[in-house]
């Protein structure tokens, strides 16, 4: 129950999670079929959820108008039978309800959908012929096309070949795809310092052009504005200030690196799930990430200015080549039927504006003497603007 509440309150919508403000009614059957089939065909690992009674709109706080107990019971009484005769193969389904802020929220849980593609078993309308299907990707859904079917069957083949260990992104909903926003460098410390100096230089220039001389009162006023009154004013000539500008990159190099690679980077980890009873020891995980403009991996942890001994775990080994970034971690141990995070210290993933709306494909290989065979596959990160 706690996991459901966390999903409802905190998780962002993505390929495995959707919200709807009200219960589907008789006239909403085609929309319901598209929504559920698209969730079932999403490229995610494990369960998928659709919550009814939640108003989730971009740019607004999530609201919980809730649903009536009567409409929920009516929906639950017809949904399994209707899906059973309309969709093939049968979508594994579990229906439950939780209370959030005093209202009822319906939870449609699709248990691991391990037998895709899920398609219409019969004609529902002129726009929904037998054999039709949809797939959800991020917050959008689209009709299945040839490349989707190829992806589904390749995924099924990989699952048959996985053997001992499954690899995915961690969280309440383990998955093979992840949506992450780009993080622009909009407050680089050296750039902020340069902006303040340039404001004072501009005040000097304007006062001299208007008055014929530099008015210290105007310059002082601008200094107070840009410094917030926290730094005392010191009279400096233009030549000195231009020299200060040139020295800013070196002066703020530590702060810039911390901002760029720590504060404006995603912390990325992977979940390794042992599917068997036998413990897996001394494993090596290798990731291969293509070099794409706007995408990068920090080669180490960059501490904040003045931080001499940051308390961090061991950062993975990162090798940046001309076309590929290779990440490797060794000595992994997974107990039988257990799971671990791959990195004791998460990777710092950099996504800048140039990567917006691109798909970053991450190839992985897990090797070790206790494995029957190497585990290989591919994960995807969808960069959003």
The pLDDT tens digits for 169-204 are 987 666 788 889 999 999 999 998 888 888 878 877
Q: The domain that contains 283 carries what CATH number?
A: 2.60.40.10
Residue 50, SS3? strand
From the list 158, 177, 171, 227, the residue with the least C-alpha distance to 7 is 171
Is pLDDT of 326 > 80?
Answer: yes
Task: Tell me: do 15 and 149 sit in the same domain.
Answer: yes
Model pLDDT, residue 156: 63
Instruction: For residue range 356-383, list pLDDT tens digits in order.
Output: 999 999 999 999 999 988 998 899 998 9
Model pLDDT, residue 74: 95
Model pLDDT, residue 208: 65
With respect to residue 175, please indicate whether it lies within any of the assigned structural domains: no
Task: Tell me: do 257 and 271 sit in the same domain.
Answer: no
Average pLDDT over residues 165-172: 84
Q: The domain that contains 42 carries what CATH number?
A: 3.30.950
Q: For residues 139 and 305, give the distance between their C-alpha atoms in angstroms, rounded to a whole number.
A: 39
Average pLDDT over residues 69-91: 95
Q: Which residues contact 215 (CB under 8 A, 6 or more apart)?
A: 207
Contact of 274 with 334, CB cutoff 8 Å: yes
With respect to residue 235, please indicate whether it lies within any of the assigned structural domains: yes
Task: Tell me: do 16 and 125 sit in the same domain.
Answer: yes
Task: Tell me: do 203 and 296 sit in the same domain.
Answer: no
Model pLDDT, residue 172: 66
With respect to residue 68, please indicate whether it lies within any of the assigned structural domains: yes
Model pLDDT, residue 209: 64
Residue keyed to tokens 């709109």: 57
Task: Tell me: do 68 and 133 sit in the same domain.
Answer: yes
Beta bridge partners of 328: 286, 317
With respect to residue 166, please indicate whether it lies within any of the assigned structural domains: no
Average pLDDT over residues 18-43: 94
Contact of 366 with 272, CB cutoff 8 Å: yes
Is pLDDT of 113 > 90?
Answer: no
Instruction: For residue range 209-264, list pLDDT tens digits in order.
Output: 655 555 566 555 655 565 665 666 677 778 887 888 899 899 999 999 999 999 99
Task: Tell me: do 248 and 273 sit in the same domain.
Answer: no
Q: What percent of the chain has pLDDT over 70?
A: 89
With respect to residue 168, please indicate whether it lies within any of the assigned structural domains: no
From the list 163, 51, 141, the residue with the least C-alpha distance to 99 is 51
Q: For residues 291 and 296, give the distance between their C-alpha atoms in angstroms, rounded to a whole number.
A: 7
Question: In the numeric block, which tokens belong to residue 195?
Answer: 């902006």
How many domains are contained in the chain? 3
Residue 97 has, within 13 A of its CA and on its CB side, a CA count of 19
Model pLDDT, residue 193: 84
With respect to residue 200, please indicate whether it lies within any of the assigned structural domains: yes
Last residue of a domain, one of 111, 142, 159: 159
Residue 4, SS3? helix
Residue 302, SS3? coil
Model pLDDT, residue 213: 52
Is pLDDT of 159 > 60?
Answer: no
Average pLDDT over residues 276-297: 95
User: 114: pLDDT confidence band, cut at 50, 70 and 90?
Assistant: confident
Contact of 50 with 35, CB cutoff 8 Å: yes
Contact of 83 with 40, CB cutoff 8 Å: no
Last residue of a domain, one of 230, 261, 292: 261
Task: Tell me: do 196 and 285 sit in the same domain.
Answer: no
Lowest-confidence segment of 42-51, 222-231, 262-271, 346-355 by average pLDDT? 222-231
Length, in residues, of the chain: 385
Model pLDDT, residue 72: 96
Residue 318, SS3? strand
- Whether pTM > 0.75 for this model: the answer is no
Last residue of a domain, one of 203, 235, 261: 261
Q: For residues 380 and 151, give the distance between their C-alpha atoms in angstroms, rounded to a whole number.
A: 12
Model pLDDT, residue 10: 86
Model pLDDT, residue 220: 59
Model pLDDT, residue 162: 47
Model pLDDT, residue 124: 92
Lowest-confidence segment of 23-32, 162-171, 201-210, 223-232 by average pLDDT? 223-232
Average pLDDT over residues 19-31: 93
Its domain, for residue 255, covers 189-261
Average pLDDT, the chain: 88
Model pLDDT, residue 240: 80
Contact of 379 with 325, CB cutoff 8 Å: no
Residue spans of beta strands (DSSP E) within the chain:
17-20, 48-52, 87-88, 93-100, 103-110, 119-120, 134-137, 140-143, 165-168, 177-181, 266-268, 271-274, 280-290, 295-297, 317-320, 324-334, 339-341, 347-351, 359-367, 375-384
Tell me how crowded residue 133 is: count the other CB atoms within 10 A of its CB.
23
Q: For residues 15 and 40, give the distance between their C-alpha atoms in angstroms, rounded to a whole number.
A: 10
Average pLDDT over residues 55-66: 91
Task: Tell me: do 57 and 153 sit in the same domain.
Answer: yes
Task: Tell me: do 202 and 223 sit in the same domain.
Answer: yes
With respect to residue 19, please indicate whether it lies within any of the assigned structural domains: yes
Is pLDDT of 205 > 60?
Answer: yes
With respect to residue 165, please indicate whether it lies within any of the assigned structural domains: no
Task: Tell me: do 18 and 150 sit in the same domain.
Answer: yes
Task: Tell me: do 12 and 148 sit in the same domain.
Answer: yes
Task: Tell me: do 243 and 225 sit in the same domain.
Answer: yes
């Amino acid at each position: 129950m706690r996991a459901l509440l966390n999903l409802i309150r905190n998780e962002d919508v993505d390929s495995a999670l959707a919200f709807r403000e009200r219960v589907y009614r008789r006239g909403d059957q085609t929309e319901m079929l598209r929504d559920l089939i698209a969730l079932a065909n999403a490229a995610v690992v494990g369960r998928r959820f659709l919550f009814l009674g939640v108003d989730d709109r971009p740019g607004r706080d999530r609201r919980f108008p809730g649903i009536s107990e009567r409409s929920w019971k009516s929906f639950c009484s017809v949904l399994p039978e209707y899906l059973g005769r309309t969709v093939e193969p049968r979508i594994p389904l579990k229906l439950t309800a939780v209370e959030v802020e005093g209202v009822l929220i319906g939870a449609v849980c699709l248990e691991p959908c391990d037998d895709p593609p899920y398609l219409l078993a019969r004609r529902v309308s002129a726009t929904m012929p037998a054999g039709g299907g949809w797939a959800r990707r991020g917050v959008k859904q689209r009709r299945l096309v040839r490349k989707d079917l190829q992806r589904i069957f390749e995924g099924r083949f990989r699952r048959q070949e996985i053997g001992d260990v499954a690899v995915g992104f961690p969280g309440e909903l383990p998955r093979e795809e992840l949506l992450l926003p780009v993080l622009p460098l909009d407050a680089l410390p050296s750039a902020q310092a340069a902006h303040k100096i340039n404001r004072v230089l501009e005040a000097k220039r304007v006062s001299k052009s208007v008055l014929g001389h530099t008015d210290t009162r105007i310059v002082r006023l601008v200094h107070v504005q840009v410094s917030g009154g926290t730094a005392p004013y010191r009279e400096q000539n233009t030549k000195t200030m231009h020299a200060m500008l040139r020295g800013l990159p070196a002066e703020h190099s530590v702060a810039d690196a911390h901002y760029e690679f720590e504060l404006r980077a995603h912390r990325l980890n992977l979940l390794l799930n042992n599917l068997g009873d036998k413990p897996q020891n001394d494993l090596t995980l290798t990731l291969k990430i293509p070099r794409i403009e706007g995408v990068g991996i920090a080669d180490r942890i960059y501490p904040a200015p003045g931080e001499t001994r940051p308390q961090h775990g061991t950062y993975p080994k990162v090798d940046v080549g001309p076309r590929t970034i290779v990440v490797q971690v060794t000595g992994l141990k997974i107990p039988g039927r257990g799971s671990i995070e791959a990195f004791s210290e998460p990777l710092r993933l950099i996504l800048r504006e140039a990567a917006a709306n691109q798909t970053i494909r991450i190839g992985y290989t897990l090797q070790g003497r206790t494995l029957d065979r190497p585990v290989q596959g591919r994960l995807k990160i969808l960069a959003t603007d």
